[in-house]
Amino acid sequence: MDTSYMNSRITDKKKVHIFIVGTGAIGSYYGGRLAQAGCEVATLCRSDYEEVKQRGITIQSVKGDFHFYPAEVVQRVEDYTQKPDYIIIATKALPEITLASLIQKIVYRHTSIVFLQNGINIEEEIATHYPKNEIISGLAYICVTKIKHGVIEHQAKDRLVLGKYPEGCSSKAEQLKQFFIAAGIECKNDTTILAARWHKLVWNVPFNALSVAAGQLTTAEIMQNNEIKNLAIKIMQEIVLLAARAGYPMAENIISDYIDFTKDMPPYKTSMLVDYEHHKQMEVEAILGNALHIARQKKLDIPYTETLYILLSSLNQKLVS
């Protein structure tokens, strides 16, 4: 890929306006990369508005540190001055966040709404609310953490998979991919992005859930304990079975591949564990709850996943109370 060509092509064109909802680790990192690629990137900030407005966002990256000063930093969506080509949803996927009404004032006919979130069935609310807008669903394979307001640490990887929701090709998804590639990110388009979401879920359910419920374990600690590792495998089997019932059959070796992949990882704290340790709400509904609801609809028993869902929901409630 000749990225210099890409860069020149992009800067020749009319500025592309991107609005990022959520300046956590994911939103800040990929927003910063899109700014590097020449896009005009604005951010919606809540708790860290003052810091980001004054000093922007510092990204301490394994690929080299960089600074991201957003084109606009707003505390309320209605203060944004542009008509965005893309709105990128990079908040945590929590049920209490009602995205559709949040972004209402800046969704135009040409606006594509992009998800960079974990879980399954996270797009439905927006897709139902904005049936004429293109939805792009994205998965980030990255180790990145917000250290404090305005400071992000990027530890490893940053691969992205994007795709038109619910499936198919789109020139806007293709354009967005090219921006990411221009910024040095390995990004590909997937015409069956929901299958990719289920694929990622097979890893996310067991490792996120067990990392918290088994007593705050890293992925390496999960792999070192045979009983817990075998429980992770049983949970993966349940999700693979459920995915097949939901229309997303997986290759036979997905589970052994994920086991090998996890063995090769450095000791890693899952996003759910990081949230739990910081007394923040975990993405229990997006990652486990939506899967369990589908299983219940289809009358498929997934008792290992179900148990962990109930325990983690209770832990989430305890975090609130």
Asked if residues 273 and 221 have their Cβ atoms less than 8 Å apart, the reply is no
Compute the least distance from the CB of residue 241 to its own copies, in Å. Answer: 13
Q: Is 287 in the site for its own copies (CB under 8 A)?
A: no
Q: Which stretch binds its own copies (CB under 8 A): 37-45, 83-91, 186-194, 228-236?
A: 228-236
139, 240, 258, 259, 276 from 253: Cα distances, Å: 21, 11, 9, 10, 31
Residue given tokens 């394994």 in the structure block = 62
Pairing of strands 17-21, 86-89: parallel
Compute the least distance from the CB of residue 253 to its own copies, in Å. Answer: 24
Q: Which stretch binds its own copies (CB under 8 A): 28-36, 66-74, 101-109, 221-229?
A: 221-229
Rg (CA), the chain: 19
Q: Is 157 in the site for its own copies (CB under 8 A)?
A: no
Q: How far apart are CA 165 and CA 163, in angstroms?
A: 6
Which is closer to its own copies, CB of 132 or CB of 318?
318
Compute the least distance from the CB of residue 10 to its own copies, in Å. Answer: 49
Among 53, 172, 234, 293, binds its own copies (CB under 8 A): 234
Q: Count CB-CB contacts under 10 A for residue 52.
A: 21
Burial 239-263 (b: 16+ CB within 10 A, else e): bbbbbeebebebeeebbeebbeebe
Q: Is 216 in the site for its own copies (CB under 8 A)?
A: yes
Compute the least distance from the CB of residue 124 to its own copies, in Å. Answer: 22
Compute the least distance from the CB of residue 297 to its own copies, in Å. Answer: 17
Q: Is 317 in the site for its own copies (CB under 8 A)?
A: yes
Compute the least distance from the CB of residue 231 to its own copies, in Å. Answer: 5
Among 14, 215, 252, 253, binds its own copies (CB under 8 A): 215
Helix (H) or strand (E) holding 18: strand 17-21
Written as six digits, the tokens of 312 are 């983690």
Among 114, 120, 152, 213, binds its own copies (CB under 8 A): 213
Candidates 92, 164, 177, 200; catalytic one = 200
Active site residue 299: no
Q: Which stretch binds its own copies (CB under 8 A): 3-11, 85-93, 209-217, 256-264?
A: 209-217
Q: Count CB-CB contacts under 10 A for residue 312.
A: 23
What 3-state DSSP class applies to 40? strand
Pairing of strands 112-116, 17-21: unpaired
Among 145, 218, 225, 237, binds its own copies (CB under 8 A): 225
What 3-state DSSP class applies to 241? helix
Residues in contact with its own copies by the rule CB under 8 A:
210, 213-217, 225, 227-228, 231, 234, 303-304, 306-308, 310-311, 313-315, 317-318
Known catalytic residues are: 200
